[in-house]
Structure 1
């Protein structure tokens, strides 16, 4: 038994095992300890010098924060080398871009790029795209073997990329002007002044001033009337209307000059409502007053014999806003009359030169239209075909006006083309619209009864499919003219988004050139697809197919076409400033096309100014925009030119012609545009020693006389005091 029984000592030792007793500690204390003991990637210089542990916070660690010392972190040599290498790669990309755009006559750029390629490993010359918001195609290697990434931004930036260069919230004037993009002729006029300043600094050997002085702020070059507040408080009867005779004159002014270009109101419904004004709803009273306001503005431009006081259109507009822009109206659910009223208000603001307000109001109208689904194809079987077509025309009226205002202000569109499936308007007059849905669809799509506009991934490919069908195959009438305007609006938006958006700065110059050529081909395709009666260039060639017919349509489409041409090629005018000697370069060719388009715009004008001819046959609501596009192109070309150039004389004659038209128009917007452009021409003529020997231009260059647009009076105005007989109020003697 003794052999089977273990010793007492050994048994006790085997049964008593050692167990580690954990230290009791709160979880917060554990977290604090682990946080204090974490290893920081690098310590600041102060902690290193004092040989204490650094907490690693930025901008100050705990020790420096408690002692009030400056906390400085020094990057390791490896990180500093990486930053310098990346900077060298960016500069090499910029040099490669400059070489592709401007050439390398002496080979110095190529020599520098070869040195960079030898010093930097090959795999570092093709860095991956670190920005997830930028498409991968933009980081591909360029022809020179260097990635064209951010280094090309400044090159594109100088021409067309939008940047905010002033505080737009500092005062009432800058807020009223608002943001003005590089696509606007207001910015182009400012570019003329900046170029003159640079030339003066170079010739006088003064130190260049890189800051933009107060006179070079965009608001200083805004010839529109946004800064002039005409919203007076009128004491009037909101329900009162003008006399039937005056009202009929105003309605005919609207129908004869505006309706075909802006068919937001069905003509038959408008005339029916006009004949029975006693039963109008508040929103239709607002619509009718907006029609009167637009007609009254036109009557003053053409100096109609029956026109009332020059401020009567403000009365009609105030009445319309009291009906259609009340707090209850804006907070209620949108409907079609509300959208129509807002569209007319935006058109009116554009016609009186308040383009910033017009852009805001048209955006609101488009939002309401999208809320009711006007931007997509209507497949409701219970809706008549004529009503569907009227809704289509409402959408495209808003669309075309917003694209025009986008070019005038340089601001982006709120409409995303890819999300729109509404078809283009039919080329049928109002009285020919049918209620047969199938028959109307067959007219819209001859090759198929139903269309699927969302079948393509291109933003406007399905619209361009209708372009391919050809406008020349449809009869020339008011609706085919409006359809041509809508198609031009699509192309204009593509020009703005391609050349004047933030996306331009991440594109390579070769891609921009390719897109520019594609847009140029689309413009040519649009012009060639027009019915022969709308061929505005036949007028210049002396082969007008049907003299006396469609004169107005041809001039309107011509202004649109050449305005889009100028918009497309305007960024290339900077090539003249940079002194490109290669006449075969892409930039030189595009600059020449830009100047030619401006000359073609001026050729629409007779040699002797006759404002009524322009108002009756041209886009009177935006004609100053069209003329200033041409004027600023001429002024920019002259500002980039040198004294003695033979082209200077030709450009001078064109500039004087258009400025003379601005002077003769006697409109507040035209008067401000005349003042600014004539003063610019005087400064350029002095620098280039151009001949301004006739009496009128001698006064300009001396600064003897300058016509200024006076700010309208403010305060409370009694409406009856500013109306003459026949305007619907007591006459003021």
Structure 2
């Protein structure tokens, strides 16, 4: 390097030396200026173009954009030194210069650049730019236009990435995350806008990435959509608070309490809460504060007569098993018949506990549907036997086996059915831990386990999955299992009796064929390839049995099996699991405490995306289960399954869109009529109306408990009623058609709650909570 500098001067250097030799005569400076202005390397127009290029990047500007310009000395002296109207440059290189200096490097600040163009007002409002180096090279008008085009392309690609990111599989989403991380490492963000940690990548495959540049500056203030990362309740205060437990933001009790609190505070005079009583417990309508009355002495040798037992078992398989296949029907019925036909048979305690839980749940269902026999034991007695045999006391210290997992799952369901939601939530957590202990969260490749048994175990896992989803939705608490930790294949859409059929066995034993088949049924499923064995990058767009399937992998075998699949309760369960996945992903993204770090734009985009995916799920529902567009030409043998999917679908949509309703309720920011938040809030209210429209105008509890998901229908009615009350009291003007429609539906809901109160104490409490709010604050709607 040093040697090369001693060589002959370059032609450019030689040309620069000649003027310096002539300059020794020290001519008049004014004459030098006149002589050199016309030949300087950058004139005023070029400087303006250079500044425009910087302004074209205004979307990413710094606190002080610095523009480096190489200017001939004479030009610099004429326009910047002798011009009193312009402020002095930030720096000049060299610091000591005279007329013999060929070139002066000048740094102009952002505001000085604005002075050159006369746009100082506009430049003061510009955002910041992360990279000074991008402005160091000369830029012309052509480059300005290119930068504008590139900026527009980046915006388009960014929007596209946001749209498709939730639909990516695990590997693709990780690749996107890694690529963005590398880009950020090459172009760091400014110090004045620190990045906020992203949501954990341990969320389901379709995670929503936090954009650091759009995040709230103070996450402790909470999200405007209602998610909180703190609690202001002491849940250890007394027995009632402990019985209720924590209630999270995706529970309708949290929505209802917030409305009640705001209405009480806005009333005149303000209504004070009862001293010493936990705030949210004032709207708690469950029964956890009621003791479980278990008899001290239990006769383990007493069993119902077989004709009563047969009725209870039939009722269980009608009312529970299709939605929660916790054990195999074929195996259980064989064992049950052997037990009653052979008095000398002595089953194990866990099987006896299982049978008692079946009797307890069926008896509870018989109470609701007015089918209880006069000489029949009550459901508490059956549950007490089961609890003593295999749930309570020492039994929980034993190592679990498959029957113990089934017993714990049924115990959780029974507690849910009688309104003991907090206790049920705790027991389902134990059941899931027992299931993981047994490895049920993973696909079985054991050669010692028959395929029939594998399928029963898969269904047990998904039954626990469904029960956990319902309980977390009702309590507003976190989910008990994470998607990245289970690879259990999705439930096969065939009846249990068909699992020994050769063609069915051939289809479900090979994972790639099974995955392709499930993909044909759920072409836009929210599930990951780990569950179905195939990638969803290009899923085949197929309908149900009415259309020919065109599965590419492996096509021949899948097509040969397609005609054998007819609508059945197992297919219903598959679609229910798929919808539950979407609900769980929604809870993880919109309601987890870390959602407070998401910006309003990101939340709105996530809500819109989840809502579209819910609608897409509905569009692929087979006609036999489709509740939105009933087909009069199709028989209705699956009315119960269709109603169950309807309530689950509308409940999912309410949880997706409820944050938008809350923001529109509380926000004072002006919004355009077509704003995403307003659109989603409208959909939320419409969904609540659609859910209540599922109920006949005349309250009929037999129809309700026979057709609807009886174990959680009260929760669903309270979800929709709460949304309508929020809309009525916060966004509706008295005397409008909208007010009239909302009032009619609220009245319908209270009629149903009142009718349900005759058989269900939880319904009676729910009716009291709603009528209390209406009596205090609804007189203007009911004069």
* TM-score between both structures, scaled by the size of structure 1: 0.71
**1:577, CA displacement in angstroms?**
3.6
For the 8 Å contact 2:688–2:720, the answer to whether it is kept is: yes
Q: 1:114 to 1:418 in 2, by over 3 A?
A: farther
Q: C-alpha separation between the residues in 1 aligned to 2:199 and 2:742?
A: 44
2:139 is aligned to: none
2:304 is aligned to: 242
For the 8 Å contact 2:229–2:596, the answer to whether it is kept is: no
Q: C-alpha separation between the residues in 2 aligned to 1:129 and 1:241?
A: 65
Q: C-alpha separation between the residues in 1 aligned to 2:535 and 2:368?
A: 37
**1:153, CA displacement in angstroms?**
5.4
Q: 1:153 to 1:166 in 2, by over 3 A?
A: closer
Q: C-alpha separation between the residues in 2 aligned to 1:190 and 1:671?
A: 18
Please list every run of 5 or more consecutive structure 1 residues that lacks an aligned counterpart in the other structure.
Answer: 1-88, 90-110, 143-147, 452-457, 693-733
2:295 maps to 1:233: yes
2:509 maps to 1:441: yes
2:654 maps to 1:582: no
For the 8 Å contact 2:199–2:209, the answer to whether it is kept is: no
2:688 is aligned to: 598
**Which gives a bigger RCO, structure 1 or 2 (Cα 8 Å, sep 6+)?**
1
**1:383, CA displacement in angstroms?**
1.6
| 192-201 vs 276-285, greater mean Cα deviation | 192-201
**1:133, CA displacement in angstroms?**
8.8
2:723 is aligned to: 633
1:681 is aligned to: 774
Q: C-alpha separation between the residues in 2 aligned to 1:449 and 1:475?
A: 14
For the 8 Å contact 2:608–2:676, the answer to whether it is kept is: no
Q: C-alpha separation between the residues in 1 aligned to 2:604 and 2:530?
A: 24
Q: In the TM superposition, what whole-angstrom CA distance separates every residue of 1:623-657 from its partner, at most 9, and x where no partner exists?
A: 10110001100111112134344311111100110
- Which one of the candidate residues 320, 323, 339 is aligned to 1:258? 320
2:699 is aligned to: 609
For the 8 Å contact 1:296–1:307, the answer to whether it is kept is: no
- Which one of the candidate residues 605, 625, 628 is aligned to 1:534? 625
1:410 is aligned to: 476
Q: 1:633 to 1:444 in 2, by over 3 A?
A: farther
CA RMSD of aligned residues (A): 3.3
| 293-302 vs 545-554, greater mean Cα deviation | 545-554
For the 8 Å contact 2:211–2:598, the answer to whether it is kept is: no
For the 8 Å contact 1:442–1:449, the answer to whether it is kept is: no
Q: C-alpha separation between the residues in 2 aligned to 1:466 and 1:670?
A: 45
* TM-score between both structures, scaled by the size of structure 2: 0.66
**1:141, CA displacement in angstroms?**
2.5
Which SS does the other structure have where 1:156 is aligned? coil
For the 8 Å contact 1:162–1:182, the answer to whether it is kept is: no
For the 8 Å contact 2:233–2:278, the answer to whether it is kept is: no
2:426 is aligned to: 360
2:743 maps to 1:652: yes
Q: C-alpha separation between the residues in 2 aligned to 1:112 and 1:172?
A: 62
- Which one of the candidate residues 446, 450, 453 is aligned to 1:384? 450
Q: C-alpha separation between the residues in 1 aligned to 2:263 and 2:418?
A: 31
For the 8 Å contact 1:238–1:322, the answer to whether it is kept is: no
Q: In the TM superposition, what whole-angstrom CA distance separates every residue of 1:260-293 from its partner, at most 9, and x where no partner exists?
A: 0111111112212221334321000000000000
Q: 1:611 to 1:326 in 2, by over 3 A?
A: closer
For the 8 Å contact 1:290–1:344, the answer to whether it is kept is: yes
2:655 is aligned to: 567
2:575 maps to 1:484: yes
Q: C-alpha separation between the residues in 2 aligned to 1:216 and 1:635?
A: 22
Which SS does the other structure have where 1:496 is aligned? helix
**1:186, CA displacement in angstroms?**
1.2
For the 8 Å contact 2:227–2:593, the answer to whether it is kept is: no
For the 8 Å contact 2:196–2:597, the answer to whether it is kept is: no
For the 8 Å contact 1:426–1:444, the answer to whether it is kept is: no
For the 8 Å contact 1:403–1:493, the answer to whether it is kept is: yes
Q: 1:633 to 1:545 in 2, by over 3 A?
A: farther
**1:302, CA displacement in angstroms?**
0.8
For the 8 Å contact 1:442–1:448, the answer to whether it is kept is: no
**1:399, CA displacement in angstroms?**
0.4
2:761 is aligned to: 668
Alignment length, in residue pairs? 560
**1:180, CA displacement in angstroms?**
0.6
**1:591, CA displacement in angstroms?**
0.8
**1:213, CA displacement in angstroms?**
6.0
For the 8 Å contact 1:159–1:571, the answer to whether it is kept is: yes
Q: In the TM superposition, what whole-angstrom CA distance separates every residue of 1:171-215 from its partner, at most 9, and x where no partner exists?
A: 0000010011011111111012012123326xx6x7x99x99656
